[in-house]
Every structure is written in C-alpha cells, then in structure tokens.
Amino acid sequence: MSDKRVVLKFGSGILTRKESAEMDEDQLCRLVQAVAELKRRGHKVVVVTSGAVASGLKPMHFDKRPTDIVSLQACAAVGQSYLMHAYQSYLRGHGLHVAQLLLTYADLESEDRVGRVKATMLRLLEQRNVVPIINENDSVAVEELRLGDNDTLSARVAVLWGADMLILLTGVPGLMDLKSDGEAEVIPLVTDVDSVLHLARDGTGSVSVGGMPSKLRAVREAVHGGVPCIIASGMQPEQIVELVEGRGTGTRFPVKMAE
C-alpha cells in the first residue's frame, strides 16, 4: 500500500542537543525532510511532537529542565510558539504548512470532543500540503509533563485516526537485548509486549521523561487498538522512509500480538 497513514512521534530526547537543553534545529530540519519525503511519496503523516518545554528553557532562563509543574507549564507556554515556528520554517521550504493541534487527555476521553478532534484531523489530512503537528497542551495539562513525553498521546492519536502504523523515534536503535558479554542487539520483532517489559530501561534524560517503559506501554495500547508499531532511532531521520516501507532498523510490534 503506497498511501499509508503514518503517525511519527518525536520525543524530546531526539529534538534536543546532548550538551545542552536547547532545541537541536539541525536535527529538526532532518526530521522535517523525512516528513516531506513521506508526503512526496503519497503517504499521510501526523507528527506527535514533544519539545515545547525544551524550547522554552532558554527564554525562561533555565539551564536544565525544572522539576516543579508550574515552571514546566510556563516553559511549555513560552516554548510552544518557538517550536511551531521552527516546524513551520522548515516545512515551508518543502511547500508544506503546519496545522497545530494541542490536546489533553480530557479531549480524548470526551465522546463529543474526541469526535471533533477526529473530524478536524481528517479535514486537515485532505490537504496534501498540510502536516498536523500534535502536542499535549502542557500549559493546562500535566499527564505527559510528569511521565510520558507524549508516548501515550501518540498511541491514542494513532488509534483514533486508524493509522497504518505508529513509529516511536528515540535515541536508541530499538528495543535492545543486553547479552551476557555486554553486547546489545536490536530485537527486530516482538509479538508479545508484556514478555519484553523487563528488557526496558528507564533512559530518561535532562529534557525527556519518557524512557523505554513508557514507549512499551504506548505500544501495548496502540497494538491492542489495531495499530502496528515500530520503535527505532530518530538520530538517523533518513531511515524513516525505509521504516514506513518495510525496511530499516528497529523493533516491530505487529497487531497480531493483541490476539
């Protein structure tokens, strides 16, 4: 199928510089290039992005991610506009436009509101030159600020849309199996997510709060909702197109695991 419905989740860990808490705009540019290439090939793409807090740290004079919720929400409020401006700047170079959607879990749990969210997404996706960019509305909601880095949000968006796949892009090549000799290998296929939860390490960082356990919980929700998933490295955005087309390195979670 050439016209796939793809949800890409960009976490804070792949959007920020390792040596600082600032947004890595070169990396964002490369991620946007991958989005543009998917669009060029006829795929429909929704991006679920983190990065609002990270984008707001410097303007708010923080050297690192604060720990209190009020400061996090303030950073997100400032940083969201910076984040969307960066996306729009890079997408414009490919003839594409940003459609910003800020959601809360309440939006996705209310029958009335979730219907409106879905209708809006579908209308936006009718336009070939528009890319919906979704983030949690961190200035009024706190679930992802505390523990999710938008992993669960991406799963719920994928299920709501009926996506053909959800790709969670992280700082590692996939779910890793650490061998007794200290070497680690990417597990290419997982058919039962519960059987690999013990392999997940909580690799949270100074600007991200998700980690592999959060991603596996999101995978479980998405797959049980009928959406196959991939966990792969976002540090090589050039392989995103390969992942969508059945190639590339990562861990794949087929829908059959929900049976």
Residue 12 located in a structural domain: yes
Percentage with pLDDT > 90 across the chain: 69
The tens digit of pLDDT for each residue in 160-209 reads: 999 999 999 999 999 988 776 768 899 999 999 988 887 776 554 444 44
The tens digit of pLDDT for each residue in 48-82 reads: 999 998 899 999 999 888 889 899 999 999 999 99
Residue 160 located in a structural domain: yes
Other CB atoms within a 10 A radius of the CB of residue 176 amount to 18
Residue 224 located in a structural domain: no
Parent domain of 124:
5-171+237-247
- Number of domains making up the chain: 1
Q: What is the CATH number of the domain that holds 89?
A: 3.40.1160.10
Residue 90 located in a structural domain: yes
The tens digit of pLDDT for each residue in 230-253 reads: 999 999 999 999 999 999 999 999
pLDDT at 156: 95
Terminal Cα-to-Cα distance of the chain (whole angstroms): 23
Whether this model's pTM surpasses 0.85: yes
